[in-house]
A and B are shown apart, each in its own frame.
Chain A
Amino acid sequence: MATVWVVAELAGDAAAPVTLEVLTHLRTLGDTVEAVVLHPDGASVTSALGAHGAERVYLATDDAYRDHLAQPAADTLAALITEHRPDLVVFGATYDARDVCGRVSARTGSTMVSNGLGLRRDPDGYLVESAIFGATVQVTTRVTGTSPLVLIRPRSFAAEAGPARDPEVVAVGRPIPEAHRRVRRLESVTAAATGPRLEEAPIVVSGGRGLQDPANFRMLERIAELVHGAVGASRAVVDAGWVPYARQVGQTGKTVKPTVYIACGISGAMQHTVGMKGAQHIVAINKDPDAPIFKLADLGVVGDTLTVLPALIRELEQRGG
């Protein structure tokens, strides 16, 4: 029987949501699912990994995996892959995973596929589903060779725990050479945010260039507050420094699948739509009637965003009061 690995990550002291999403999905493929955890606090997540499908967990807990970027994790993972030859190695598409995946590929000669949205198997092996051209075209890629590496985007699957079970935990102790401890993480800063998390909010109110001034994002914050939603942003305004990167929705940002996505002054470039196309309902406000965002919108309002938003706040306030 084939064996698939999930390279687990932690978010705080819990398993990262994307790790549990991927485990949940792999469970349905019928292969043996195992996980690798390289983190000083890794022992705290093994039972969650087990409940989501991992039968065995390779666990290494050296501080180096947290304090030094990519190289210690790549060393250990490449060595484990060479020793055990899993049929597939799956990562969540996070920043740290991208760094580790590229290095492991160079080390093991494994091919890698990024931005996976789906994963299935047929008698000949594994197939990765992804999307290109702003998610207008779906691509199926067959991966072959030794232990192919696949990065799956967050929120591609829903996480669901199965029956509780304690996986077999295999302690891994590998020496990490001094030469691979050269990148030091000196500080980690979490951007302050109020309200629901962007990825989990039922309503996302996003702004783009059409807001014209960073100060106008306060209107989006007010709307988000009134509808119990979260504020998102296009890449253009994040790159311009108006709002922190943690708010960015799109190809290089977050993928959101809220009940309602409200795009304010966003033209709808492919870079952006990749991250929000999965919303159940889409509302768009834009003064350009030809803006591509209107092709996605269930309700589109052609008008000046800076006029519509204050009116929207008044309407919502009246409704609430």
Chain B
Amino acid sequence: MNVVVCVKQIPDPGGAGRLDPTTLALVRDGVEVVLDPGDEVGVEAALQIAEATGGEVTVVSMGPERGIDAIRKALAMGAHRAVLVSDPRLAGSDALATSRVLAAAIGRTGCELVVAGTESTDGYTGTVPSAIAELLDWPALTFATAITVEGPVVRIQRQTEVGHDIVEAPLPVVVTVTGGANEPRYPSLRGIMAARSKPVARPSLEELGIDPATVGGEGAQQRVLAATPAAERAAGEIVADDGGGARRIVDYLATLKVI
């Protein structure tokens, strides 16, 4: 089965994020861009399914050209090819515009299964995969912590607020995976070498049939008006544990009258 995995290039989540004070857009210059750790889980899930069913994996992404390294990482893990939709007119796109672009790119691959992380680690909007499913008019199996494919049926364990559900759907289907769904493989040296020559298609918005007026900051029906530092908590008391740390905690709880 041929599988598409959606990935996003994000500023290194280990670094401190910053907004441009004038544009209120995320500062990307001088910030290392990485493959979203949540998407590594998606790539791993896609590879496992393709390997088990004898298919290939296509990485689909939207973002600035400099994010190509994140895509190369997915290729180095074993994906076969990539589609990167990169166009300055896409800057500032909202979740709906992003979904339209990705769905159009996915539609051209002829795949039967789309895998995505449940949400990005930077923006964590978490609604793009279900919007993509709707635009494809496919069912979606969401928040998977485990996936099994039996013939034309995909079954997942779906995380819920109180436990989990067992949910299944026939192909074609969109599946979103949670952070714990698998242990992503490390790219091998051979994989890293091979990734350099794997094909990366770069379709234009026009080729995808996307009206440029509906994407980017102009097309978005939302606008960030203000970004202000949240109130800091007052500095607390930090003590080294010399054997009395536990006692200090108990005394503190007692002064709060919770014990």
Contact = CB atoms under 8 A, between A and B. Distances in A.
Interface of A: 11, 69-71, 74, 94-95, 98-103, 105-107, 109-115, 127, 131-133, 135-145, 148, 151, 179-180, 182-191, 202-203, 226-227, 235, 238-241, 244-246, 251-252, 254, 259-260, 262, 270-271, 277, 281-283, 285, 289, 294-304, 307-309, 311-312, 314-316, 319
A282 B236 CA distance: 9
A46 to B, nearest CB: 22
Interface in B210-259: 220-230, 233, 235-241, 243, 245-250, 252-254, 256, 258-259
A67 B55 CA distance: 31
Q: Which of A143, A185, A245, A270 has the most CB of B within 10 A?
A: A245
B259 A285 contact: no
B52 interface: no
Contact of B124 (A105, A251, A283, A307): A251
Interface residues of B, number: 82
Interface in B49-101: 94-96, 99-100
A285 B127 CA distance: 36
B118 interface: yes
13 contacts: A70-B130, A98-B126, A132-B17, A139-B226, A141-B224, A185-B165, A202-B258, A283-B252, A289-B238, A295-B233, A298-B233, A299-B252, A300-B236
B125 interface: yes
B140 interface: yes
B139 interface: yes
A319 B259 CA distance: 9
DSSP majority for the A interface? mixed
B141 A106 contact: no
A239 B240 contact: no
B185 interface: no
B189 interface: no
A183 B99 contact: no
A148 B222 contact: yes
A148 B162 CA distance: 29
Contacts, number: 273
Interface of B: 13, 16-17, 19, 24, 94-96, 99-100, 118-119, 121, 124-135, 137, 139-143, 145, 155, 158-170, 173, 178-180, 220-230, 233, 235-241, 243, 245-250, 252-254, 256, 258-259
A289 B238 CA distance: 9
Contacts of A113: 222
Given A101-B127, A297-B236, A227 B253 contact: yes
Contact of B222 (A70, A141, A190): A141
B224 A139 contact: yes
Given A262-B249, A308-B245, A102 B161 contact: no
Contact of A105 (B131, B137, B259): B131
B132 to A, nearest CB: 8
The list of the 7 closest CB pairs from A to B, nearest first, reads A303-B241, A102-B130, A145-B221, A311-B246, A102-B127, A111-B221, A239-B180
A194 to B, nearest CB: 14
A149 B172 CA distance: 27
A102 B128 contact: yes
Nearest to A186: B166
A191 B169 contact: no
A111 B223 CA distance: 11
A202 B249 CA distance: 16
Contacts of B130: 70, 98-103
B240 A302 contact: yes
A11 to B, nearest CB: 8
B135 to A, nearest CB: 5
Contacts of A105: 95-96, 99, 127, 131, 134
Contact of A246 (B161, B166, B220): B161
A237 B159 CA distance: 16
Contacts of B126: 98, 114
A120 to B, nearest CB: 12
B145 A245 contact: yes
A145 B245 CA distance: 55
Given A251-B124, A302-B240, A103 B17 contact: no
Nearest to A320: B259
A98 B143 CA distance: 11
Contact of A240 (B180, B223, B248, B252): B180
Q: Which of A109, A144, A179, A312 has the most CB of B within 10 A?
A: A312
A87 B241 CA distance: 56
A174 to B, nearest CB: 17
Contact of A281 (B94, B179, B223, B256): B256
A316 B246 CA distance: 9
A239 to B, nearest CB: 4
Q: Which of A71, A179, A289 has the most CB of B within 10 A?
A: A71
Contacts of B155: 186
